[in-house]
Structure 1
């Protein structure tokens, strides 16, 4: 056995919690939300090829890069109760979920303009506001869980949330400028975008509704044809 090197642990989803505390157990699951959101990003990008989702994911990754730089500039340790590796200021979990929830909120309330003739069942503004509120509350729950599990101090979580919020606003303004100046349209017309069928529909169509009207028309035509055949 002495011939083998010591093994290391891949701690991507390794979370310390108190097994006797149900809230601690719940917080451990909340700690996995950023990884889950990355899976959601990848799935939506691959299945829908929406430029808006790609822009949001690019902002999410760059927000993580900012967090990496901030941690190494500030170099503040985690709470003494936590023996994990890495610096604690600002909280990357808090920054991640705040960026996601606020970016989604800005999109739903300011950028998303569902067209009644293109969308079968468009979300009303009130429904989009409610969805935004749920997203923000979930982000607050994830951020709070980091304090409960002693991975971060309240200050580290608050700074992480503030950094995520500031970057979300910056990214929304930046991508709005890209749209306004025509850079997004230019990118969509490039050969590589056309090759991968990148599209820009969720500005006016709900993501789950995209293609539904075409499917309904096809389904009704099929039933009409069967009716003509007496089936």
Structure 2
């Protein structure tokens, strides 16, 4: 029997010009949404932060909207990529726009970290710089879609606008859920307690999570070791 023809997994199959270094870089930038999904899953599993869960829920809702818009508008991709699904709006541009805008809104308007004995959190200016870097990174991913001829400038622009609108709207919704007490109610449910869901990242940097307790434990261990040597 003849071997069956092989198929390409389109999730990560990116066309680029191997003789063009910028094209090669753009091919890697095309993998940013998949990488961010891995980051989401890792942070949710390791930190159980409800803020990250809410952000991921909004990200998936934004993706669902993109799926609907593409099948409603039904605009083809540029000629070089015809037959690879609809192109309006760009899902990559919409994805990274939602992520970067949501991250910027969180860092600038919701994240109020308090200093501890073991950690000095980022200042507002530093958080502003991080927000700008996130926006620049998102712009790079969006432009790469045009460079690789997967989308027209208009398709990318509409994707950026759609992602931005979704991000602002979702930030408003989650702000209401917090102020109305719905987030606090969820945190008190048995399911949230079972999965150890918490809400610390608003006032505590992720890098400081548990660090103060670890430092205190190490101090106690050293004290006990010194005391044990003295007792000998």
Same fold per superposition (TM over 0.5): yes
Instruction: Please state how far the C-alpha of 1:229 moved relative to its aligned partner.
Output: 2.4
SS at match of 2:80: coil
Equivalent residue, structure 2, for 1:178: 177
Instruction: Please state how far the C-alpha of 1:82 moved relative to its aligned partner.
Output: 1.7
CA deviations 1:140-170 (Å, max 9, x no partner) are 0000000000000001000000000000000
SS at match of 1:81: helix
Instruction: Please state how far the C-alpha of 1:81 moved relative to its aligned partner.
Output: 1.7
Query: How far apart, CA to CA, are the structure 1 residues paired with 2:186 and 2:194?
Result: 12
Equivalent residue, structure 2, for 1:98: 97
Find out whether 1:121 has 2:120 as its counterpart.
Answer: yes
Query: How far apart, CA to CA, are the structure 1 residues paired with 2:6 and 2:89?
Result: 30
Give me the TM-score of the superposition, normalised by structure 2.
0.95
Aligned residue runs from structure 1 range 47-86, under 5 A: 47-86=46-85
Aligned residue runs from structure 1 range 23-34, under 5 A: 23-34=22-33
Query: How far apart, CA to CA, are the structure 1 residues paired with 2:21 and 2:83?
Result: 21
Q: Is the 8 A contact 1:119 1:210 kept in 2?
A: no
Equivalent residue, structure 2, for 1:130: 129
Equivalent residue, structure 1, for 2:212: 213
Equivalent residue, structure 2, for 1:169: 168
Instruction: Please state how far the C-alpha of 1:84 moved relative to its aligned partner.
Output: 4.7
Q: CA RMSD, aligned part only?
A: 1.5
Aligned residue runs from structure 1 range 148-163, under 5 A: 148-163=147-162
Find out whether 1:196 has 2:190 as its counterpart.
Answer: no
Query: How far apart, CA to CA, are the structure 1 residues paired with 2:119 and 2:9?
Result: 46
Is 8-17 or 151-160 further displaced after alignment? Answer: 8-17
Is 101-110 or 79-88 further displaced after alignment? Answer: 79-88
CA deviations 1:52-72 (Å, max 9, x no partner) are 000000000000000001111
SS at match of 1:220: helix
Q: How many residues align?
A: 230
Query: How far apart, CA to CA, are the structure 2 residues paired with 1:118 and 1:172?
Result: 31
Query: How far apart, CA to CA, are the structure 2 residues paired with 1:119 and 1:113?
Result: 17
Instruction: Please state how far the C-alpha of 1:28 moved relative to its aligned partner.
Output: 0.2
Q: Is the 8 A contact 2:76 2:82 kept in 1?
A: no
Equivalent residue, structure 2, for 1:8: 7
Equivalent residue, structure 1, for 2:109: 110
Equivalent residue, structure 2, for 1:227: 226
Instruction: Please state how far the C-alpha of 1:8 moved relative to its aligned partner.
Output: 3.5
Q: Is the 8 A contact 2:100 2:134 kept in 1?
A: yes
Instruction: Please state how far the C-alpha of 1:211 moved relative to its aligned partner.
Output: 0.8
Structure 2 residue runs of 5 or longer lacking an equivalent are none
Q: Is the 8 A contact 1:118 1:205 kept in 2?
A: no
Structure 1 residue runs of 5 or longer lacking an equivalent are none
Give me the TM-score of the superposition, normalised by structure 1.
0.96
Q: Is the 8 A contact 1:84 1:151 kept in 2?
A: no
